[in-house]
Amino acid sequence: METKYSNQKNVLILIKLLKEHGIKKIVASPGTSNMPLVASVQQDDFFEVYSSVDERSAAYIACGMAAEKNEPVVITCTGATASRNYMSGLTEAFYRKLPILAITSTQDISRLGQNAPQLIDRRVIPNDIAKMSIHLPSIYTLSEERNYAVLINSAILELTRNGGGPVHINLTIADGRKDYDITELPNVNVISRINNRDVFPELPNGKIGIYVGSHNVWSKKLTKNVEEFCRKFNAVVLVDNISNYKGEYAVFSNIVTYQGKRNRNVTHMDLLIHIGDIVGTDFQGLEYDVVWRVNPDGEVRNTFGKLKHVFEMEEYEFFEYYVKNHCSFDIKNSYIKLWNNEIKEVRSKISELPFSNIWIAQKTANKLPKNSVIHFAIQNSLRCWNFFETDKSISGFCNTGGFGIDGNLSSMIGASIVSPDKLFYCVIGDLAFFYDMNVLGNRHILNNVRIILINNNGGQQFRNYDSSGYQFGSDVNKYMAASGHYGNSSKTLVKNYVQSLGFKYLKAENKEEYLSIVDEFVSEKLTKQPMLLEIFVGEENERNAMDKITHLKMTNLHKKKIILTNIIGEKKVKKIEKIINKFDS
């Protein structure tokens, strides 16, 4: 007999992943809301389905099965109070670390509190009945399908992680007729978690990129293992200023990946290995067939959308394993040479940039003193400076954890206090500076602090050509970019404030002024006072500099736009773009 599955997409994805992870045993209790799941699995010969009317007994039956066979067991029930009867059995499973997957079905939880029958609130559960609890609403978009697959993979993997234990999935069943006319389950990305005791997958014999998110200073052991890995398997390390890898296989990729036109022979990889934490800059210009994440936290983080394996181990252990246990690749074309040649070609196209944050970065990054430390404020400052490399001895940091406007300056001050023998730099925009300026009154501040304040009178990120705010023209400054605050680019406000606090104040309003003082600002000698260099730049210069640096290699579409702008003017091009955007939306 042909298997007929429910037409509910979240149910289909769940069933597919249960099968892919080898979970066969299901203890089903009767009910209406869980019928799409039960009716589907009972027709599929892969599953072993058992019946229990009493949900309390069902949970304990599953405990017995899991303990006897040392494998995960599913329990499924309907809405109303049925799930409450799982609690005692799940408590037993929690303290005995038994892998019980409790799937409680529900109506749409938007009806909670509206006197809907047979609907109870399971959004918060007791601490000791499940290691993880997720809620799965109905699916309406492709993006939701992908996200749900990641969530369900995470839940299933948690059943056996760190000794194991119960997990809860609250599964929404949509209204309407519940048809059973699906004969094939969908293709779903299956994610596995690997630790030191598991069998490691084979490396693909092709181009490998190691993408480093924000990362603390590297140990010698990690650096050694990564470089041996790159040498043996033709890999590169994709970095920016907060990746903190400075070795021979470093690829400062942003200058290439931000271009309007890219060389796929360089940017496409067979495997992307993700280490570190939250990424600081855009990675959309990269292409990859599959992603492996290596992190001791072992969490499922599908940052790049194609996660296949999560390696729960120290980074150096991962690279050490492959270096010791896998044969070298037959290298025909050096991947690091491909990248370096592409970067060289793109950089050769850089002409004179407007006076801007990017121009400041271009003229300053390679001048910063060796062994200094630089902190970047999000988002525009980090993005601008990540087009240019600092010396290999310099460490870089940014508050990418929360990725918010607050605390960037304070983080740098905190670091400078505990390392008085190092020079600390901070690059920060005016909104972020004034948000965090109270820290400059801290009595612990030393003379090793140097601040670059880019005063462009508002949030430049919202005014660039590639921002959705650009379509509003000058209106973006009213509220979205928040211009006109904090003295409206006053020439004396910051000066008077920081001088009163004992800082040496420097100022530049054009290229000539900046070049005349930059050597003093980047001097490796500690001065008597901390320094603040305020640079006044216009938003148009900022916008044009970003557009120029990201279109050193242009698509035909962008070339046509430039020609059209020269003929009819920027304002008319903006109007045309607004009309096109309306049709697109």
The whole-number average pLDDT for the span 183-212 is 94
Cβ proximity of 188 and 151 under 8 Å: no
| pLDDT above 90 (res 111) | no
CATH 3.40.50.970 fits 9-176, yes or no: yes
Lowest-pLDDT choice from 125-139, 348-362, 423-437, 525-539: 125-139
The whole-number average pLDDT for the span 473-480 is 88
Question: Which parts of 325-377 are beta strand (E)?
Answer: 373-376
DSSP 297-331: T-----TTS-EEEEE-S-HHHHHHHHHHHSPPP--
The whole-number average pLDDT for the span 513-533 is 95
Cβ proximity of 83 and 149 under 8 Å: no
CATH 3.40.50.970 fits 357-548, yes or no: yes
First to last CA, the chain: 46
CA angle 292, 203, 325 (to 5 degrees): 115
Cβ proximity of 170 and 134 under 8 Å: yes
ω into residue 379 within 30 of 0, thus cis? yes
The whole-number average pLDDT for the span 154-165 is 96
Cα 531 to Cα 38, 358, 424, 534, 537, distances in angstroms:
69, 21, 10, 10, 19
Listed in sequence order, the DSSP H helices in 374-477 are: 380-385, 408-418, 430-435
Nearest to 157, CA basis, from 302, 314, 57: 302
**What pLDDT sits at residue 393?**
95
**What pLDDT sits at residue 408?**
92
Pairing of strands 192-194, 395-398: unpaired
The whole-number average pLDDT for the span 413-438 is 96
CATH class of this structure's domain 208-347: alpha beta
Backbone phi and psi for residue 101, each to the nearest 5 degrees, phi listed first: -100, 105
**What confidence tier does 583 reach under pLDDT thresholds 50, 70, 90?**
low
Close Cβ partners of 107 (under 8 Å, ≥ 6 residues apart): 33, 79, 116, 118, 119, 172, 173, 175
Digit-coded pLDDT (tens) for 539-552: 999 999 999 999 99
Neighbouring CB atoms inside 10 A of 141's CB total: 8
CA angle 373, 378, 379 (to 5 degrees): 130
Type of residue at 31: G
DSSP 141-158: SHHHHHHHHHHHHHHHHH
Digit-coded pLDDT (tens) for 20-33: 999 999 999 999 88
**What confidence tier does 379 reach under pLDDT thresholds 50, 70, 90?**
confident
Same fold, 9-176 and 357-548: yes
Close Cβ partners of 115 (under 8 Å, ≥ 6 residues apart): none
Backbone CA torsion sign across 292, 192, 321, 329? negative
Backbone CA torsion sign across 368, 548, 340, 222? positive
**What pLDDT sits at residue 466?**
80
The whole-number average pLDDT for the span 137-154 is 89
Token pair recorded at residue 542: 């900022």
DSSP-derived letter for residue 70 is T
**What pLDDT sits at residue 322?**
96
Residue pointed to by tokens 């209790």: 29
**What confidence tier does 294 reach under pLDDT thresholds 50, 70, 90?**
very high
**What pLDDT sits at residue 185?**
94
**What pLDDT sits at residue 177?**
60
The residue extents of the domains of the chain are: 9-176, 208-347, 357-548, 555-584
Distance CA 171, CA 103 (A): 7
Token pair recorded at residue 349: 């196209």
| pLDDT above 60 (res 115) | no
Look at the chain and count its residues: 585
| pLDDT above 60 (res 584) | no
Token pair recorded at residue 297: 């936290």
Backbone CA torsion sign across 176, 178, 183, 185? positive
Distance CA 219, CA 359 (A): 33
The whole-number average pLDDT for the span 383-398 is 94
The whole-number average pLDDT for the span 225-233 is 95
Cβ proximity of 254 and 280 under 8 Å: no
**What pLDDT sits at residue 1?**
60
Close Cβ partners of 80 (under 8 Å, ≥ 6 residues apart): 118, 119, 120
The whole-number average pLDDT for the span 104-113 is 72
Close Cβ partners of 387 (under 8 Å, ≥ 6 residues apart): 254, 255, 258, 358, 361, 362, 549
Coil/strand/helix, residue 451 = strand
The whole-number average pLDDT for the span 113-127 is 69
Token pair recorded at residue 258: 């931000």
Digit-coded pLDDT (tens) for 123-133: 678 889 999 99
Pairing of strands 531-536, 504-508: parallel
**What pLDDT sits at residue 331?**
75
Distance CA 394, CA 365 (A): 10
- Can you give the three-state secondary structure of 226-268, one letter per residue? HHHHHHHHCEEEEECCCCCCCCCCEEECHHHHCCCCCCHHHHE
| pLDDT above 70 (res 569) | no
Token pair recorded at residue 465: 């050509």
DSSP-derived letter for residue 219 is P
**What pLDDT sits at residue 143?**
83
Type of residue at 526: L
Identify any residues that bridge with 366 across adjacent strands, giving them in sequence order.
Answer: none
Cβ proximity of 99 and 69 under 8 Å: no
Digit-coded pLDDT (tens) for 313-331: 999 999 999 999 988 887 7
**What confidence tier does 372 reach under pLDDT thresholds 50, 70, 90?**
very high
**What pLDDT sits at residue 402?**
79
Token pair recorded at residue 267: 């940017």
Token pair recorded at residue 201: 């997958």
**What pLDDT sits at residue 280?**
73
